[in-house]
Structure formats: C-alpha cells, structure tokens
C-alpha cells in the first residue's frame, strides 16, 4: 500500500512540475542502413546473394527493432544492367521507392543515359538525390546539396558528394559542372550546422582516397560511401568510413547513440543478404512483373559457344581475353573498320561464360551500356597514341586496358607511360605513322571518355545516332555467326621479363 501511495505522489508531482531533466537525458539510438553500387534487382552469385526482395525483409526486421531508422544509398544504380538497357533505370527507381529508401547520392553511372534521363528518374523518386559538388552550368541547381532529417528528436544532416571524374567517365553532357569534393564539403557543412544539424553524415560516391581527404578537411561524424565494389572500412580524423561492396550482397547497419547532439557511441555490422533471408512477397511480385516482360525476348538462344569465354574483370582489364577478342571483332565488323578497340572495363559480365548455348540475356550482360559504335579515321601515329593511352595506367582500377581486333601489340609495362608500346602491327603488317586507318570504338571514348583526348578531333566517318549500340552490335554479330570459338591469339603481349 505504501508503494502505491508513493507512486501516486510521484505521478502528481510530474503532472504539476513536469518530468525532471535527468529522466529525459538519455542517449537516443539511431540506426542507419546503407548500400552502394546496386545494379541488379535479382540475386547475384548464382542466387547466393542479393535481391531487393530479401533486402525488404531485412529492412523491416531492423525497423521493427528500432523505429529510428534511416535507409541510405551511396550511388550507382540506374546503369549498367540488362534490365536497364530496356528500362533506362526506371525499374531501379520503382524498387527503391518500394523498399522505402530515404536518401540517395548520385553515382557516376546515374549519368550513363544522359542528364535528361537522370532528371526523369529523379522526378520519379520518392526520396531526395544529393550531390553538393554537382551543378548545372552557371551554378544553377541540378540536384540537392543536403537534407536535414529529424530522427528520434535528433537532427541528422546528410550531404552528398560525387567523384569529379564522372565528367569523363559517363555521359554528363556540356552543362554539368563538378566541384572538388573537399571544397564542396568545406562550403556546405557550415551551412548545415547553421540550419540546425547536430550529427553530420557524408553520403559519398568517391574513391576511398577522396573520402579520406574529405574527412581530414571538415569535422564529420560519419561517411557512408560507394564507388569501390568491395567492403571497406577506415577511420580518419575521428570519422569512420564504411562501404559495403556491390549488388546488395551485404546490407550495412550502423547504430549511433546520440545525446545532446553528440555521438557517444557507434556500432556497426554487415547483414548478409543471403539465401537464409526470406523474400518479401510484395517486392518479389514487383520484380516478377519486370522479369515477365523481358523473359520471352531474352530467353531466346543466340549462338553456340564451343569454348569457355573469359569475361572476368581481372582478365579483361589486365590482359588479352578471348571474350575481349570476340567483342572487338564484333565491333570492327559492325563498323566495317580496319581495326577496333574496346576498353576492358566495358565488358561487365565479370565471370567465365561456360561453353554452350548463349541467350540474348547473357549476350546483353557482356556489354550493357548504350554507347553507339563510332568509326573514325586515324593515322598510324594517332593510333599509336590511342594504344599508348590504353596502356598508360595499368595499376589503376579504371585502367582503359585495350581489347583489340586486327591489331597486334607488344608492350613493356616497366617503361614510362606513353613509351610502352614496343611493337604495333595492323592486319599483319607494321603500323605506319603516315598511313590512314579506319578505327572502330565506342562513342563514349570517341568523345574523349576515359581520357582519350586524342579522339574527339578525329575525322568522323559514321554518325553515332545511325550506328547500333555496342550491345546490339555484339548481338547482331553473334546471331550471324551461329557458332563461335573465341581464342587467345597473342593480340596483346606483355614483355615484362616474367
């Protein structure tokens, strides 16, 4: 009875005088779910990992345990994929909307279909896109810089940053301007503080090196990044940096304990998006709707491979590949050119395709971009410059290592960049500096993408809008062949003494 009387007196006291401050001053736990570089809505790794249907199950599970949850995405989703070749990324927006994404930052592949398509996709999004260092010409708005979200009574400031080399590596057009990410962060973070942000989070699509530059330059509580396709963690200037790989194999979870606007503690883990996670039925139906539309056309057989075709990135970006030879031959045949070159990084299938029947879907996965096939005229000296550039950044993950047709290249990686080609033959004969050759490549690098600055001035022999895309050129070539047996032919030989 005495305990009950005390409880009643306490309740009366709280009603009259209010709750004491000490009863309110306790940490608020905020959960951040984070993904980056998601191109596929289906499973990957032969069904072992990924899929939006599994993601939704995990998201709901986490949100039930903590309603103070935000779902963040660090860029690259509209392209490339087979489905995006059909839907230009609309299928990804529909799915991000369906799983309740809260905030996203732009990735370089968001520009693959050009700024106008990106604007359409952003308009369809039920979440904001951010990139503080991306502007329209004359500094007009193209995308938001930051948002402030109140979660559990805490004001979270989230700003976006995008790798500036997107202007060379995607189809941004002439009216998109990029600011150095560090300068953008220095400009925008104080404005976020003035707007009331208590916890500052960078949602970035940068290299880890640039993420570290940003963390050193401005005081941040956390960077959730993308761009690299592998799980990465770092700590710089007291700021943790997390990336979680690609294609939703791992769902990142970061838990913040916040009190009086300060992060007191932080826990993190990666949630496996594996077979043990049951698919959400609603999302599975949405995915199925998209798949049904493509299945009939894509399941048709195209060609018979008599040998395994090596499309792994580790091969195509570093040495001659039999699949690279096949792709380059298809491009040369489509353009009717003397020679052809395609960068190994354009081949996106990233696996060995086993011998047997190749379907339309499998063929389109090899070259999912919509770059047209261009044909230009180069003299031998210019052709050598193109090849030298392709071999000039061999230690760079984005190296434009060449896969070629009707060329033979010997090179020595120990020599300085620009002087690595020791032998260049065209059609079984030495390449002559003053002789003119017709050269097939993607319209992307023809316009100077990936640093091919020597190509935009070359004489254009075919209008890109009259030419098929790389993927269509490959598909048409395979259909004509019926059976193919790509092999290594010594088209590119490394002379490093090993």
Residue 344 shares a structural domain with residue 264? no
The total of structural domains in the chain comes to 2
User: In the numeric block, which tokens belong to residue 262?
Assistant: 């300060």
- Is 248's pLDDT higher than 70? yes
Answer with the residue of higher pLDDT: 250 or 136. 250
Q: Please give the average per-residue pLDDT across 182-195, as a whole number.
A: 98
Residue 279 shares a structural domain with residue 404? no
- Is 271's pLDDT higher than 90? yes
Phi and psi, residue 376, nearest 5°: -130, 170
Please give the pLDDT value at position 281.
97
Q: How confident is the model at residue 307 (pLDDT cuts 50, 70, 90)?
A: very high
What tens digit of pLDDT does each residue of 26-42 get? Answer: 899 999 999 999 999 99
Terminal-residue alpha carbon distance, the chain: 89
- Is 73's pLDDT higher than 50? yes
What tens digit of pLDDT does each residue of 364-421 get? Answer: 889 988 788 999 999 999 999 999 999 987 754 556 899 999 999 999 999 999 999 9
Between CA 295 and CA 297 the distance in angstroms is 6
- Mean per-residue pLDDT over the chain, rounded: 91
Burial of 455 (0-12, 13-18, 19+ CB in 10 A): buried
**Other CB atoms closer than 10 Å to residue 327's CB: what's the count?**
29
pLDDT above 90: percentage of residues in the chain:
78
Q: Please give the average per-residue pLDDT across 158-172, as a whole number.
A: 91
- Is 112's pLDDT higher than 60? yes
Phi and psi, residue 33, nearest 5°: -95, 140
Please give the pLDDT value at position 21.
43
CATH code of the domain in which 374 resides: 3.90.780.10
* 256 belongs to a structural domain: yes
- Is 238's pLDDT higher than 70? yes
Please give the pLDDT value at position 20.
46
Residue 332 shares a structural domain with residue 358? yes
Please give the pLDDT value at position 131.
98
Residue 283 shares a structural domain with residue 343? no
Please give the pLDDT value at position 10.
45
Residue 284 shares a structural domain with residue 310? no
- Is 15's pLDDT higher than 80? no
Closest CA to 467 of 375, 365, 363: 375
- Is 62's pLDDT higher than 90? yes
Please give the pLDDT value at position 24.
47
* 2 belongs to a structural domain: no
- Is 275's pLDDT higher than 60? yes
- Is 16's pLDDT higher than 60? no
Among left, alpha and beta (phi > 0; psi -120 to 50; other), residue 364 is: alpha
Residue 375 shares a structural domain with residue 487? yes
* 5 belongs to a structural domain: no
Find all residues with CB under 8 Å of 197, minimum gap 6, and list them.
Answer: 146, 148, 155, 156, 157
- Is 305's pLDDT higher than 60? yes
Host domain of residue 398 = 300-494
* 309 belongs to a structural domain: yes
- Is 25's pLDDT higher than 90? no
Residue 123 shares a structural domain with residue 198? yes
Domain boundary (240, 265, 289) is at 289
Q: How confident is the model at residue 306 (pLDDT cuts 50, 70, 90)?
A: very high
User: In the numeric block, which tokens belong to residue 328?
Assistant: 């380059």
Residue 407 shares a structural domain with residue 433? yes
Residue 274 shares a structural domain with residue 340? no
Whether the Cβ atoms of residue 85 and residue 471 lie closer than 8 Å to each other: yes
**Could you give the angle at the alpha carbon of 381 between the alpha carbons of 424 and 428, nearest 5°?**
30
Residue 238 shares a structural domain with residue 308? no
The sign of the torsion formed by the CA atoms of 468, 472, 474, 479 equals negative
Lowest mean pLDDT among 110-114, 303-307, 322-326, 427-431: 110-114
* 323 belongs to a structural domain: yes
What tens digit of pLDDT does each residue of 315-348 get? Answer: 999 999 999 999 999 999 999 999 999 999 999 9
Between CA 64 and CA 231 the distance in angstroms is 26
Please give the pLDDT value at position 215.
98
* 364 belongs to a structural domain: yes
Residue 254 shares a structural domain with residue 393? no
Q: Please give the average per-residue pLDDT across 268-297, as a whole number.
A: 94
Closest CA to 107 of 91, 89, 126, 82: 89
CA atoms within 13 A of residue 433's CA, in its CB half-sphere? 1
Q: How confident is the model at residue 460 (pLDDT cuts 50, 70, 90)?
A: very high
**Other CB atoms closer than 10 Å to residue 350's CB: what's the count?**
16
Residue 270 shares a structural domain with residue 331? no
Q: Please give the average per-residue pLDDT across 469-476, as a whole number.
A: 88
* 12 belongs to a structural domain: no
pLDDT above 70: percentage of residues in the chain:
93
Q: Which long-range contacts (CB under 8 A, 24 or more apart) does 397-400 make?
A: 397/228, 397/317, 398/169, 398/345, 398/450, 399/317, 399/318, 399/344, 399/345, 400/343, 400/344, 400/345, 400/445, 400/450, 400/451, 400/452
* 14 belongs to a structural domain: no
Please give the pLDDT value at position 13.
47
């Amino acid at each position: 009875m005495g305990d009950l009387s005390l409880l009643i007196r306490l309740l009366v006291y709280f009603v009259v005088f209010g709750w004491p401050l000490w009863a309110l001053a306790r940490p608020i736990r905020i959960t951040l779910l984070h993904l980056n570089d998601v191109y596929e809505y289906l499973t990957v790794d032969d069904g072992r990992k990924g899929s939006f249907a599994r993601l939704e199950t995990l998201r709901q599970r986490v949100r039930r345990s903590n309603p103070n949850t935000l779902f963040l995405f660090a860029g690259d989703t509209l392209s490339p994929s087979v489905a995006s070749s059909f839907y230009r990324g609309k299928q990804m927006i529909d799915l991000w909307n369906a799983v309740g994404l809260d905030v996203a930052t732009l990735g370089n592949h968001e520009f693959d279909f050009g700024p106008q398509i990106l604007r359409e996709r952003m308009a369809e999004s039920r979440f904001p896109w951010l990139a503080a260092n991306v502007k329209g010409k004359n500094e007009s708005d193209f995308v938001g810089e930051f948002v402030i979200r109140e979660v559990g009574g805490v004001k979270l400031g989230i700003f976006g940053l995008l790798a500036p080399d997107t202007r060379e590596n995607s189809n941004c057009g002439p009216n998109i301007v990029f600011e150095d990410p560090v300068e953008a962060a220095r400009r925008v973070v104080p404005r976020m503080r003035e707007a009331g942000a208590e916890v500052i989070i960078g949602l970035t699509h940068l290299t880890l090196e640039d993420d570290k530059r940003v963390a050193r330059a401005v005081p941040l509580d956390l960077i959730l990044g993308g761009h690299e396709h592998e799980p990465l963690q770092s700590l710089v200037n007291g700021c943790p940096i997390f990336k979680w790989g690609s294609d939703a194999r791992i769902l990142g979870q970061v838990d913040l304990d916040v009190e009086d606007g300060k992060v007191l503690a932080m826990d993190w883990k990666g949630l496996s998006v594996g077979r043990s996670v049951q698919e959400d039925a609603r999302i599975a139906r949405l995915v199925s709707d998209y798949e049904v539309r493509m299945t009939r056309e894509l399941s048709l057989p195209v060609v018979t491979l008599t040998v395994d075709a090596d499309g792994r990135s580790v091969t195509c970006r570093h040495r001659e590949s039999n699949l690279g030879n096949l792709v380059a031959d298809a491009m040369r045949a489509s353009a009717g050119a003397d020679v052809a070159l395609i960068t190994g990084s354009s081949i996106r299938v990233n696996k060995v395709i086993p011998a047997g029947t190749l379907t339309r879907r499998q063929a389109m996965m090899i070259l999912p971009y919509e770059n047209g096939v261009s044909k230009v005229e180069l003299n031998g000296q210019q052709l050598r410059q193109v090849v030298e550039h392709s071999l000039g950044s061999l230690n760079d993950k984005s190296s434009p290592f060449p896969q070629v047709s009707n060329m033979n290249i010997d090179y020595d990686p120990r020599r300085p960049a620009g002087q690595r080609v020791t032998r260049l033959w065209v059609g079984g004969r030495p390449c002559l500096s003053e002789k003119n050759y017709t050269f097939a490549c993607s319209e992307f690098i023809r316009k100077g993408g990936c640093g091919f600055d020597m190509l935009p001035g070359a004489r254009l022999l075919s209008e890109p809008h009259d030419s098929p895309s790389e993927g269509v050129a490959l598909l048409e070539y395979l259909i004509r062949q019926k059976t193919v047996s790509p092999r290594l032919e010594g088209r590119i030989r490394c002379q490093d003494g090993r």
